[in-house]
Amino acid sequence: MSLDTATVRRIAALARIRLEAAEVERMQTELNDILGWIEQLQAVDTAGVEPMAGAGAVALRMREDVVTDGGVAPRVLANAPDREGEYFGVPKVVE
Amino acid sequence: MHPTDFTLAGAAEALHEGLISSVELTQAHLDAIAALNPRLNAFLAVTAEAALREAAASDARRKRGDARPLEGLPIANKDLFCTEGVATTAASRILAGFIPPYESTVTAQLRRDGAVFLGKLNCDEFAMGSSNTTSAFGPVENPWRRGNDPDARLVPGGSSGGSAAAVAARLALAATATDTGGSIRQPAAFCGIAGIKPTYGRCSRFGIVAFASSLDQAGPVARTVEDCAVLLRSMAGFDPKDSTSADVPVPDFARACGRGVKGLRIGVPREYRLDGTPPEIAALWEQGLQWLRAEGAETVEISLPHTKYALPTYYIVAPAEASSNLARYDGVRFGLRETVAGSDLRDLYERTRAAGFGAEVKRRILIGTYVLSAGYYDAYYLQAQKIRALIKRDFDEAFGRVDAIVTPATPSAAFGMDEKQDDPVTMYLNDVFTVTANLAGLPGLAVPAGLDHQGLPLGLQVIGRAFDEETVFAVGGAIERAANFRALPAIRAGVG
């Protein structure tokens, strides 16, 4: 499996990372090197093996459905690059 | 004796006996940082004023007879731990200007126990790297020198390279670090100090900048095994704010360090005998096993058959989780924002992330995005999760026969800053001995055990059963006593 430049651009778009034209080719080579090396996993027989999602306890614990935090809008917004009142500011989305 | 030469436990004793004050101890470390950090680049931020204020308060508290376990001990934190009111960068441009409004659980517990914080330590960007060269704020230099090539600047390992270099050079008594695939143990080994990645779930991940959530664990680096044990006791413990935090008691790890290894069965995995491993690393490994046999342990050859698949498995699982975790850096809520005139929201995201992330982080996000994308999920991600289960099963079977496993910590000594940088896959091989413990969630300790022919430190690794750090410390303590590692890095506080 080898990635073409169109696929590299598509992945970058999915990941919301702008790639300049000059970067695409270098990234393509590097990603293909890594994927080529990872390819060896296809040879492992995993029939009947349950996938392991995490290293901790199999089941996450439950907690009471109650509010434990909140009411700290100024602290939440303190690091925002742009804000309007109690909202994060972004470029206009809807005309 | 120079105050920066104390071990953490030794400094605690000296403070207790009134031989030194926390202010004196803290000032000595701040002086060492001022002298050596311009060269080593281990610290990204030094909080000198706050440290001296905390130290003075600590001395006053001790006078009142109210000393806590880490009272007045100056340590430093990897810049992956959120520290309230102190900039936290994860060594990335994308977190520029970010001041956490909260404290990570691990650092809060260290404060609770009286530790004094000197500052924040450099690391690989988002902890992605094995040489500390991916930091947006420049590489960290290893304080060790090759005897036969003293001018070469060496890497400290990574990702916790700042933590390891600072502790080795005596700029801090000990430091916090994190380990996702070897990021505590490999730099500890490269810098001739000890470091433990505890069992997954032992330390809360709350407030630690996330890389790969099912693999990330916090742990200490320090100059002795006992110091690691002392620090881990304060760092560990159940935290409801981390859904994967383990609700298990925290034992007095330091008591286990001198327990000895008589009657223990030590596993020696045959798959860790890799082609191309330098003979001196194989020899050191055998030496370590002999030390343990001399102390009454039995060594047993074991097999961990899926070992060779661990690294490629890791390089699917970790980037997949990273691509998801790092989606939060969008230029909206914190950190960097990049736009041009007329940027819409999507352009804002794409420009911000292009400008904010370094090359290695981008590579891993793209790999992760690809292996999780429609049509490839089963072939890559699901297959990797199944192989991860097989790697864990190998360990479960081995731990039916042995109490701990001993391996080399790294496949080489520290390398030069200009070596091994070009090819990502070659760089990834640094973690070949350490990554299995992350995938299986097991505790792993690196202990300095000897020097290579160039005079550079080499470490051994002890892997234990889940939540059996005590046996790991017992074995590590025995190796430490037998190795009697006394060599010192060329660059350190109090010399030159």
Q: Which residues pair with B221 in a beta bridge?
A: B175, B195
Q: Considering only CB atoms, which chain B residues are within 8 Å of A38?
A: 312, 315-316, 380
- Given the residues B21, B135, B183, B234, select the one marked as catalytic: B183
CB B220 within 8 A of CB B115: no
Q: Is residue A88 part of a domain?
A: no
pLDDT, residue B191, reads 98
By C-alpha distance, the chain B residue nearest A3 is B370
CB B219 within 8 A of CB B174: no
Q: Is residue A56 part of a domain?
A: no
ipTM of the complex: 0.96
By C-alpha distance, the chain A residue nearest B346 is A16
- Given the residues B22, B130, B135, B159, select the one marked as catalytic: B159
By C-alpha distance, the chain A residue nearest B422 is A30
Q: Say yes or no for a CB contact (<8 Å) between A51 and B441.
A: no
Q: Is residue A50 part of a domain?
A: no
Number of domains composing chain A: 1
Q: Does A59 touch chain B (CB under 8 A)?
A: no
Helix H or strand E segment including A11: helix A5-14
> Whole-model pTM above 0.90?
yes
pLDDT, residue B419, reads 84
Q: Say yes or no for a CB contact (<8 Å) between A51 and B367.
A: no
Phi, psi of B426 (to 5 degrees): -60, -40
CB B336 within 8 A of CB B96: yes
Answer yes or no: B183 catalytic: yes
Q: Is residue A66 part of a domain?
A: no
Q: Say yes or no for a CB contact (<8 Å) between A15 and B353.
A: yes
By C-alpha distance, the chain A residue nearest B365 is A15
Q: Does A43 touch chain B (CB under 8 A)?
A: no
Instruction: Walk across the sheet containing B298-302 and list its strands.
Output: B43-46, B116-121, B74-78, B174-179, B217-222, B194-197, B444-451, B457-464, B404-408, B265-269, B298-302
pLDDT at A56 over 70: yes
| 3-state SS, one letter per residue, for chain B | CCHHHCCHHHHHHHHHCCCCCHHHHHHHHHHHHHHHHHHHCCEEEECHHHHHHHHHHHHHHHHCCCCCCCCCCEEEEECCECECCECCCCCCHHHCCCCCCCCCHHHHHHHHCCCEEEEEECCCHHHCCCCCCCCCCCCCCCCCCECCECCCCECCCCCCHHHHHHHHCCCCCEEEEEECCCCCHHHHHHCCCEEEECCCCCECCCCECCCCCCCCEEEEEECCHHHHHHHHHHHECCCCCCCCCCCCCCCCHHHHCCCCCCCCEEEEEHHHCCCCCCHHHHHHHHHHHHHHHHCCCEEEEECCCCHHHHHHHHHHHHHHHHHHHHHHCCCCCCCCCCCCCCCCHHHHHHHHHHHHCCHHHHHHHHHHHHHHCCCCHHHHHHHHHHHHHHHHHHHHHHCCCCCEEEEECCCCCCCECCCCCCCHHHHHHHHCCCHHHHHHCCCEEEEEEEECCCCCEEEEEEEECCCCHHHHHHHHHHHHHHHCCCCCCCCCCCCC
Distance CA(B89)–CA(B122), nearest Å, equals 9
Chain B: closest CA distance from residue A4 (Å): 13
Q: Say yes or no for a CB contact (<8 Å) between A44 and B387.
A: yes
pLDDT along chain B (496 residues), means of 10: 95 98 98 98 98 98 98 98 98 97 97 98 97 97 96 97 98 98 98 98 98 98 98 97 95 98 98 90 97 98 97 97 98 97 96 97 98 93 97 98 98 90 76 96 98 97 98 98 97 86
Answer yes or no: B159 catalytic: yes
pLDDT, residue B163, reads 98
Q: Considering only CB atoms, which chain B residues are within 8 Å of A54?
A: 200, 213-214, 244, 441
Q: Does A86 touch chain B (CB under 8 A)?
A: no
Q: Considering only CB atoms, which chain A residues are within 8 Å of B330?
A: 16
pLDDT, residue B277, reads 85
- Residues B469-478 have pLDDT tens digits of 999 999 999 9
Q: Say yes or no for a CB contact (<8 Å) between A44 and B240.
A: no
Q: Choose from A8, A23, A88, A90 for mutation: most chain B CBs within 10 A.
A: A90
Which of B316, B345, B351 lies closest to A90 in CB terms?
B345
CB B62 within 8 A of CB B27: no
Tell me if the domain spanning B3-256 has CATH number 1.20.1250.20.
no
Chain A: closest CA distance from residue B358 (Å): 11
Q: Is residue A76 part of a domain?
A: no
Which of A3, A13, A52 lies closest to B388 in CB terms?
A52
Domain hosting A34: range is 5-40
pLDDT, residue B427, reads 78
pLDDT classification of A1: cutoffs 50, 70, 90: low
